[in-house]
Amino acid sequence: MTEDNTTQTTAPTKNPRRKRNLVLWIAGPALVLIVGAYFYVTSGRFVSTDNAYVQADQVNVASQVPGRVVEVLVHENQAVKKGDVLFKIDAQPLEIAVARNEAQLDSVHSLLDAARAGFHSAQATVKSADEALRVNEAQYQRMKELRARGLVAEKDVDDAANNYANARGTRDSDVASVAKAEGFLGGLPTTPDEKLAAYKLAQVQLAQAKLDLEHATVRAPMDGTIGKQNLQPGDFLAVGQAAMPLIATQSMWVNANFKETELTNVVIDQAATVEVDTYPGKKWKAHVASISPASGAEFSILPPQNATGNWVKIVQRIPVRLAIDDQDNGPILRAGMSAIVEIDTGRQNSIIGRIEGHYDTAKPARVAESLK
């Protein structure tokens, strides 16, 4: 009885252990297969790189007129708005230039008025010369008739001919004077000053002088932050000489340098995330704005010459520009910060997809829209 009881008590205790072992033998491999399948399916969907940096538009503010700096109204790292005065250049020489050109414009106006008066005077002189020519021509013809009848001496005929020639020369000279005055006045004495070349030239010179005077006050071309600058009153600036950098902090993007082998399925408008080393754990939403037409090496001063010497194949980097969709959502981003970028290509790494070569080109746009 004791042996039978022992057998009856130990038999039930072995059944649960066998069940647990059976579950582990089945569930363990199944879990491994599921995890492996997940990583296989998603392994080709996301591409990432830590070779990425925050970028921003940068303007080197320069003077458009030469001169001595008399006042600097901003300091390093100061935020400015578009139109804010950054510094001023000595305006006195430019004010003198404006006054000189204003006087020149008045002088041209007076000269044109004098030309109109001269034109009318020349016209009156031509009328008088026409009458004198008519009288001298008639006198010459009369003397020739009298000479033919022997009533006057040959000298009287010569004198009449000489007077006729002088009158004709005077009349031609007066006609030329009228033509000269007419040409100076643009063909018509009634032409307004504003349509005459001399007056237009004087106006343009005055406008340029006023523009130079306006450029003596240098303003911010956009919203941003002043970078490193050492401009001081008394410094002399030439035309185009950089005075201070201005960083546009409201329109930043990320420049990510992906390996060429990682861009197989990357297209414009795909959704992405950006994480900056300065703020661990904080991610910004972004999307692919553009892809460079060439590798970074192609834009270098000395591009590679692969047709010469010993050749070694090196995987190239292609710059990809990512627009940040929620820049204002979080800490302040600064140009030059290191970043980590991950792009969602929307590609499923499935066997059927590999066989069919299927890729949903509309999916990246839908993903980007869903993240907004």
- Number of helices (H), then strands (E), belonging to the chain: the values are 6, 12
Query: What region does 139 belong to: left with phi over 0, alpha with psi -120 to 50, or beta?
Result: alpha
Helix (H) or strand (E) segment spanning residue 198 = helix 197-215
Q: What is the pTM of this model?
A: 0.64
Separation of alpha carbons 138 and 122, rounded Å: 24
Q: Which of 224, 269, 253, 288 is nearest to 365 (CA)?
A: 269
CA of residue 141 relative to chain centroid, distance: 79
Separation of alpha carbons 9 and 84, rounded Å: 94
List of the chain residues with pLDDT < 70: 1-15, 19-23, 37-44, 117-118, 120-126, 129, 131, 133, 140, 147, 152, 157, 174, 177-190, 348-372
Tokens of 234: 């008394």
* The pLDDT value given to residue 10: 47
Q: Which of 197, 357, 330 is nearest to 264 (CA)?
A: 357
Separation of alpha carbons 154 and 161, rounded Å: 11
Q: Which amino acid is at 107?
A: S
Q: What is the DSSP letter of 332?
A: P
* The pLDDT value given to residue 189: 67
* The pLDDT value given to residue 86: 95
Query: How many C-beta atoms lie closer than 10 Å to residue 220's C-beta?
Result: 19
* The pLDDT value given to residue 247: 93
Separation of alpha carbons 106 and 268, rounded Å: 61
Q: How far is CA 274 from CA 277, 279, 343, in A?
A: 10, 11, 9
* The pLDDT value given to residue 35: 73
In this structure, is the dihedral angle defined by the CA atoms of residues 102, 108, 112 and 118, taken in order, positive or negative?
A: positive
pLDDT tens for residues 65-113? 999 999 999 999 999 999 999 999 999 999 999 999 999 988 888 877 7
Q: Where are the beta strands (DSSP E) in 115-193?
A: none
* The pLDDT value given to residue 88: 95
pLDDT tens for residues 252-294? 999 999 999 999 889 999 999 999 999 998 999 999 999 999 9
* The pLDDT value given to residue 236: 95
CB 140 within 8 A of CB 230: no
Query: What region does 122 belong to: left with phi over 0, alpha with psi -120 to 50, or beta?
Result: alpha
- Which residue is associated with the tokens 């006729």? 164
For 232, list phi and psi in degrees, rounded to 5: -135, 150
